[in-house]
A and B are shown apart, each in its own frame.
Chain A
Amino acid sequence: MATNSGSPGRVRRGLRIPWGMLAAIAAAVALWAAASRLIPQADLYLPSPAAVWDAFVDLLRKGVLPDYVAASIRRVILATVIGLAIGVPLGVFIGINAKVADFFYPLLNFFQSLSGIAILPLVIVWFGFTERTILVAINYTVLFPVVFNVLVGVRSVPRIYVNALRTMGASRLRIIRDVLLPGALPHVATGARLGMAYGWRALIAAEMLVGANGLGFMIFNAQSFFLTNRIILGMLAIGTLWILIDRFLLRPLEADTIQRWGLVQR
């Protein structure tokens, strides 16, 4: 963030082959393959990469994997969009007034730490084993980091900017639009990224307990049939998808706003 955005290294960022990452993955797979060879009854306890590959090809051909991936991604994106739509206005509203912000701060911090998995049993009591339960749980999970970060963002906007606009005769709405929202934008990006990360974890848990599809359901269901290779395939999919979302959607988004705003703010 402190480095100059005009450096050539940054421009080529998207094109560089991540050799380091590929090497790390190769090492992990090699270790896994070796361990799988040493373990008795490996197909049950730790299937080899080849066995997991077979499961991958099988579920891809049957269309199960694409369906479940789509279901999980749809849920997390929906929750993020709803979380932002509710969380940003709410965070701004609470953040405008210092007293209101002080009042809500500990509550928001509390709920931010209480993960969606922890409230899942309660939500199941409310709505049963339904799609609604999944959505409520991950919406809850996404919402609080967003509200919390937007609140902090609004509070961190230098007071002098607000005063400058007031002396120019600006209305409250104008101050929100021209000062508080753009000033809080890097925090909005951080909130969205954290919210989605928490939401993704909560989603897998919710799908395990409640779902009839999705990656969480897939690995939990596979366990009943001792299809360990499917479990590992699901784990790989969950981790890989998150890395892709984070690397190609969230990180660039956050880096761009923070870089622009952060550099700019002094």
Chain B
Amino acid sequence: MEAKIVVKDLVHEYSDEYTGQHVRALDGVSLEVADGELVAVVGPSGCGKTTMLNILAGLVRPTSGRILVDGREVKGPGPDRGVVFQELAILPWRTVARNIGHGLEIQGVERGERERRVRQFIELVGLEGFDHKYPHELSGGMKQRVALARTLAANPVVMLMDEPFAAVDAQTRITLQEELNRIAIATRKTILLVTHNVEEAAFLGDRCFILTRRPGRVKRIVEIPIPRERRQWKTLTTDPEFTTRREQILTLVREEVRGGDE
């Protein structure tokens, strides 16, 4: 079966706004994400992973290369790709329920159906009773749950996540990672997750793509053949199958970080 996301020879160059220098951010990245798979992309900061995600989202135009989502060429932003951003991207003047239903509203889903779907996803991310709260009344972790639910409710073909848990505290992050794992099981969504957090990549990824430092290229692919049902922080941290992979990824990323410092 064909992969849900196909990225072929992606190159991105831009001229730096301040220095005027020509920068090559991505240097021929290719990757594929199978149906229902969660692929984590890790790399040192500045390796172009966020740029890659923005290109996939259709917000940035690549210099060259092809992207296919569900067999269709990506030419701009579209509801087939749901995005969860690192920064808080839910609207402060909309309640939780109206934020979550926003994608459906844009798609023209009629009200009754919309409310039913919103309720379903409020439950999925554990925000029952917060329907009519505004984002400023929520904790950081809850806000990110709203963002996640908004993306899922619109039922995209694939979900793109850019450092979605980077802005929350460590304890919340662990909870959210386990929840995302649970949601991945429940929805069977195809997910591409960009992160600089090696633990997170190893915990969530079916496969992990390690990018080199800038200009970003795929350095190595590490498979993490641990069934989703077994992925619980409590037991996984002592599971050798997990720890060896985690160390392997960590070593690969460290090589790039160290190289970058020299």
Contact = CB atoms under 8 A, between A and B. Distances in A.
A164 B59 CA distance: 10
A160 B92 CA distance: 12
A164 B85 contact: yes
A71 to B, nearest CB: 38
A170 B106 contact: yes
Interface stretch (B1-9, B26-34, B65-73, B75-83): B75-83
B93 A164 contact: no
Contact of B79 (A168, A174, A178, A265): A168
B77 A167 contact: yes
B130 interface: no
Contacts of B58: 166-167
A165 B106 contact: yes
Interface string A153-179: 000001011011111111000100011
A158 B87 CA distance: 10
Nearest to A171: B106
A174 B90 CA distance: 15
Interface in A242-262: 260-261
Given A167-B77, A168-B79, A178 B102 contact: yes
A164 B92 contact: no
Interface size class of A (residues with CB under 8 A): 20 to 34
A168 B154 contact: yes
Contacts of A158: 87
A22 interface: no
A261 B135 CA distance: 11
Interface of A: 158, 160-161, 163-170, 174, 178-179, 182-183, 185, 260-261, 263-266
Interface of B: 57-59, 77-79, 81-83, 85, 87-93, 102-103, 106-107, 134-136, 154
Going nearest first, the 8 A-B pairs with the smallest beta carbon separation are A169-B79, A264-B92, A164-B89, A166-B77, A167-B83, A168-B103, A264-B136, A182-B93
30 contacts: A160-B88, A160-B89, A161-B89, A161-B91, A163-B59, A163-B77, A164-B90, A165-B102, A165-B106, A167-B59, A167-B77, A167-B78, A167-B79, A167-B82, A167-B83, A168-B79, A168-B82, A168-B102, A169-B77, A169-B79, A169-B106, A178-B102, A179-B91, A185-B93, A260-B93, A261-B92, A263-B136, A264-B93, A264-B135, A266-B92
